[in-house]
Structure 1
Amino acid sequence: MNTSPLIALCAGEASGDLLGAHLIEAIRARCPQARFTGIGGPRMQAVGLESLFDQETLAVRGYVEVLKNLPAIWRIRKDLIAEMKRQQPDVFVGIDAPDFNLGVAAALKAAGIPTLHYVSPSVWAWRRERVHKIVQQADEVLCLFPMEPELYQQAGGRARFVGHPLAQTLPLEADRAAACRELGLPKTQPIFALLPGSRVSEIDYMAPLFLQAAQLVWQQIPEAQFLLPYATEATYARLQSLLTAEPYCRLPLQLLPGSTAQACTAADAVLVTSGTATLEVALCKRPMVISYKISPLTYALVKHKIKVPYVGLPNVLLGRAAVPELLQHDAEPEKLAAALLDWYRSPEKTAALQQDFTELHRLLRKDTAAEAAAAVLAAAGANP
């Protein structure tokens, strides 16, 4: 048995950095001598990853946005593959970021390095034909949602449901009073959380829109307080430049470093960009309005490929429009503000939604990092 495996990990954004950090900790609990190399953000580096390249370069979204950064992304991928072939890790684990990581995985698998992909792409939503290619690129897919493994197994691949880490780390019972107390806010004060995204490219598109909606809510509820968590120093700098200028400088808003769950739990309602954050809001048992806006060209390229009626994870997992989705042309400040105010003024509807979110939480709750660690160590030939 390999007692000191070299494990290569690659996470392309903030959510992947968090997953990767928990995975490293779970691997270390089982195999203390394990070593870690690859690409990761501050959380993964804090628990022992030697990051070879800047993660922020990979954290872009959308066809047009990616094209602008394509030369740098290609250069990093080429250099990473070369370095992995030189280091010869016992396993390569791509964490989310499938467009980048699966290309790396394919090259390394061809070189004889075992490959895992942690977080299935949304093949159930769009571009389902990707399943057949993914099973050729990755030896196993570690899935966060229970409906995903069957898709890979039907294509002759290996996949397992490991649960969703947010469901394991967040409490089943959300304590709003405690969250308000920690933030120094009275629980009787109307509170709204704004989650425009973890990437700079998302901040550029979504933050001005969300701040305009917040201003409209503030006009209706002058005593309202707004909370805006941020993921990285790069996103903080972009947000700070917006908030120190007119017309947003008067808005009663707190910027919170990495406190998404705390902000959501304290909030009466949340305005959130479509993505993993929508699930975090659901697991905090808070009502939300989901929005998303990308460049018109990117939207034209992707809209016909979407095969499900919803884009927000809570709606997808519940199989119905449990929370409103205001996307692209519907992503207007007036509509967003009206939807937030509707939740604030509808306590009975909120209570029913919270029951649905609690059941969803139970369904997704497993020791995700431990399940994923077992799969990684098995692939590396180091399972205790």
Structure 2
Amino acid sequence: MKYYIIAGEASGDLHGSNLIKALKKEDKNAEIRCWGGDLMQQAGAELAKHYKEMAFMGFLEVIKNIPAIFKNIAFCKEDIQNFGPDAIIFIDFSGFNLRIAKWAKKKGYKTNYYISPQIWASREGRIKKIKRDIDHMYVILPFEKDFYEKKHGYPVHFVGHPLFDAMANTSLIDEATFREENGLDKEKPIIALLPGSRKQEVQKMLDIMLSVTKDFPDYQFVIAGAPSLSDDFYSPFLKKGQVGFVSNRTYSLLKHSYAALVTSGTATLETALFEIPQVVCYKGNWISYQIAKRIITLDYISLVNLIMDKEVVKELIQNELTSKNIKIELSKIVEGSARERILEDYKSLKKKLGGKGASQLAAQLIVKNA
């Protein structure tokens, strides 16, 4: 059968690549075309559009790029028709994907959504579009099943979280080799800096994260370079202090870290699954943040706290994200009492999420439902 997959950012590319591998196991004759990235292409899909061409973040950034977005939508529809898939699979990226889903449903294509839009966080009214346009929804967070089925009467499949698969499928370098290859101190404990994957957020986050390096002389800070950004992009930040840099090796970095400063997003959950105590950091464009604050109804922004429904890790958001506060909270997890409590909560988090197999289960259901 033919499958058309649409992912619009780095995390979608990661999970899409493991889904592609699983689809090829379930369907030996699978032909797959995608919007995604290098990982999905390497997994065996034909790449129609790279997510780097679509990484617009925040309300203002989206508005400024409306012409490019509409051009992409038109191209996507035409490309789907030319390919003629038996099933379309949407991965997160809801602003774009729900528009394509509306058109695809009317055209009679089978529509599958893997990794639900976060309508439980904002704009819950989108459930009407999902009910109308999505044939099958595969959710990855335990509370999403109750949200859809009990609150909205829309049946979904809980398949578990694909990060377990991503971690299992990634080869990690041993610590001595990792430190040597990346020019790191052989003994100082590592504090990982995960500033995000989009230019706008990385530029905002790294300056504030790096402002505390001098306060922790017994540790070394290491930036995790995102695959969506060139190494040259990070060069100005590396001149601002004693800081290391690792390109496209985030999992190995987390594996060998002692603590982390993490921009809110999937990375907060990845850090937790590697059992690294963290401080969650977020600061957006002022106007975008003011708009978001009025439509997002959650008590927390990190996936770790959302899944556990309590404050497991400290969140420093917008005006709270200062050098002083980062220093205070980071001290608590490298030298203070918060460290052991966080590690205990991480164990409970893992139990809630289940184990490996999300990609394979999702693939089995997609093939069955196609």
On whether the aligned pair clears a TM of 0.5, the verdict is yes
CA gap of 1:166–1:233, structure 2 versus 1, over 3 A, is closer
2:18–2:165 contact (8 Å) kept in structure 1: no
Distance 1:325 1:235 in 2: 28
2:277–2:342 contact (8 Å) kept in structure 1: yes
Q: Does 1:61 align with 2:61?
A: no
1:224–1:252 contact (8 Å) kept in structure 2: no
Q: 1:8-49: CA deviations, max 9, x gaps?
A: 001100000000000000111121220111211000011121
CA gap of 1:78–1:69, structure 2 versus 1, over 3 A, is same
Map 1:346-361; keep pairs closer than 5 Å: 346=336, 348-361=337-350
CA gap of 1:81–1:67, structure 2 versus 1, over 3 A, is same
CA gap of 1:290–1:235, structure 2 versus 1, over 3 A, is farther
Distance 2:338 2:227 in 1: 34
2:141–2:158 contact (8 Å) kept in structure 1: yes
Q: Does 1:195 align with 2:181?
A: no
Map 1:124-135; keep pairs closer than 5 Å: 124-135=120-131
Distance 1:268 1:58 in 2: 34
Distance 1:147 1:161 in 2: 9
Partner of 1:300: 290
Partner of 1:141: 137
Partner of 1:159: 156
Partner of 1:8: 4
1:135–1:156 contact (8 Å) kept in structure 2: no
Q: CA RMSD in A?
A: 2.0
What letter matches 1:208 in structure 2?
D
Which of 270, 273, 289 is 2:279 aligned to?
A: 289
Corresponding residue SS for 1:21:
helix
What letter matches 2:263 in structure 1?
T
Distance 1:128 1:187 in 2: 49
Which of 361, 364, 373 is 2:363 aligned to?
A: 373
What letter matches 2:136 in structure 1?
E
Distance 1:362 1:258 in 2: 28
Which of 179, 183, 187 is 2:179 aligned to?
A: 183
Distance 1:8 1:355 in 2: 41
Partner of 1:332: 322
Distance 2:71 2:134 in 1: 22
Q: Does 1:263 align with 2:262?
A: no
2:332–2:339 contact (8 Å) kept in structure 1: no
Q: 1:84-105: CA deviations, max 9, x gaps?
A: 1232200111111011111111
1:60–1:200 contact (8 Å) kept in structure 2: no
Distance 1:324 1:307 in 2: 18
Which of 4, 10, 29 is 1:33 aligned to?
A: 29
CA gap of 1:54–1:170, structure 2 versus 1, over 3 A, is closer
Corresponding residue SS for 2:88:
strand
Distance 1:190 1:266 in 2: 8
1:162–1:366 contact (8 Å) kept in structure 2: no
Partner of 1:209: 208
Corresponding residue SS for 2:287:
helix
Distance 2:43 2:164 in 1: 22
1:38–1:80 contact (8 Å) kept in structure 2: no
CA gap of 1:140–1:104, structure 2 versus 1, over 3 A, is same
Distance 1:55 1:104 in 2: 16
Q: Which runs of 5+ in 1 are unaligned?
A: none
What letter matches 2:141 in structure 1?
F
1:203–1:235 contact (8 Å) kept in structure 2: no
What letter matches 2:110 in structure 1?
P
Partner of 1:239: 234
Q: 1:172-210: CA deviations, max 9, x gaps?
A: xxxx99546533467852321000001222212222222
What displacement does 1:351 show? 2.1
What displacement does 1:261 show? 2.1
Distance 2:176 2:278 in 1: 18
Partner of 2:100: 104
Partner of 1:22: 18
- Name the TM-score, length of structure 2 as normaliser: 0.92
Q: Does 1:230 align with 2:196?
A: no
How many matched pairs? 362
Corresponding residue SS for 1:32:
coil
Distance 1:189 1:164 in 2: 33
Q: 1:301-360: CA deviations, max 9, x gaps?
A: 1102121211111111111111111111111122112211221112x5312321211221
Distance 1:362 1:179 in 2: 27
- Name the TM-score, length of structure 1 as normaliser: 0.89
Distance 2:185 2:208 in 1: 27
Q: 1:342-382: CA deviations, max 9, x gaps?
A: 21112x531232121122113212401101101221232xx
What letter matches 1:237 in structure 2?
D
Distance 1:207 1:92 in 2: 37
Partner of 2:78: 82
Distance 1:168 1:352 in 2: 26
Corresponding residue SS for 1:39:
strand
1:85–1:108 contact (8 Å) kept in structure 2: no
